[in-house]
Amino acid sequence: MKNPYLITGVIIIGFLSLVAILAPFISPYDPAMIDQNSLLVGPSLKHLFGTDSLGRDLFSRIVYGSRISLSIGIIAVGISVSLGVFLGSLAGFYGKVIDTLIMRFVDIMLCFPTFFLILAVVAILEPSIFNIMIIIGLTSWMGSARLIRSEILSLKEREFIQAEKALGASNSRIIIRHLIPNAIGPVLVNATLGIAGAILLESGLSFLGLGVQPPVPSWGNILIESKATLGIAWWITVFPGFAILVTILGFYFIAEGLKKIIG
């Protein structure tokens, strides 16, 4: 209770995760069901968040969209953290030529504007949930690699690591059992922020028509509808936008709470 940021973030993300898991039970309608008699109906008891231009229930689409957006954020960051920790630990532990090669590759990747790089790759490949996860993961690992490398550079000179070497422990054992667990703290904070960034990025791609493709609902492609109906159906913009805002804030609160714990 002494860490209100962490508690608030966990409550928000826990609630959203529960909504995503229980989507079939919470959603009152099929998110893809078209109702010609309920086109652009405002929020009411029948349709809590109103309907879109095809008569689909917006509340149901946002509930199911939470599954897509949260899954993309978590899996994409899982890929980026795994790759970043692997390459960063190799660079930090072995140093010299390996360190130089890996870090120069990191510098090259950082030279490219990430969003435009993702746009280019998505434009070449078929836009899909799987491709979005992979692309975001493979273009956002550089921060994790730099963080883990800097931590390992200082840790590998500590007495307990030197003792492990003197006892004949293999390099892989030292890296996996001792260095990574002791260096992972800042990476976890970065990963939490990365999930928020990945969700926002997916929403932007879907809004541009290069992300998750209809009829599969995601918060980003729900917002596409708002471009044509903003003047007459404000709810199509407000509710998915609010869902994105709350989710991003939840992950930022968790990141702030982790920072206080790690120090």
Least Cα distance to 192 among 242, 137, 113, 254 occurs for 254
Q: How do the domains of the chain map onto residue ranges?
A: 4-262
| Phi and psi, residue 57, nearest 5° | -70, 120
pLDDT the model gives residue 103: 93
Fold observed for domain 4-262: MetI-like fold (1.10.3720)
Q: What is the pLDDT along the chain (263 residues), one digit of tens a residue?
A: 788 999 999 999 999 999 999 999 999 999 988 888 888 899 999 999 999 988 999 999 999 999 988 998 899 999 999 999 999 999 999 988 999 999 999 998 888 777 777 777 777 877 778 888 888 888 889 999 999 999 999 888 888 888 888 888 888 888 888 899 888 888 988 899 888 888 888 888 877 777 787 788 888 888 887 777 877 889 999 999 999 999 999 999 999 998 888 76
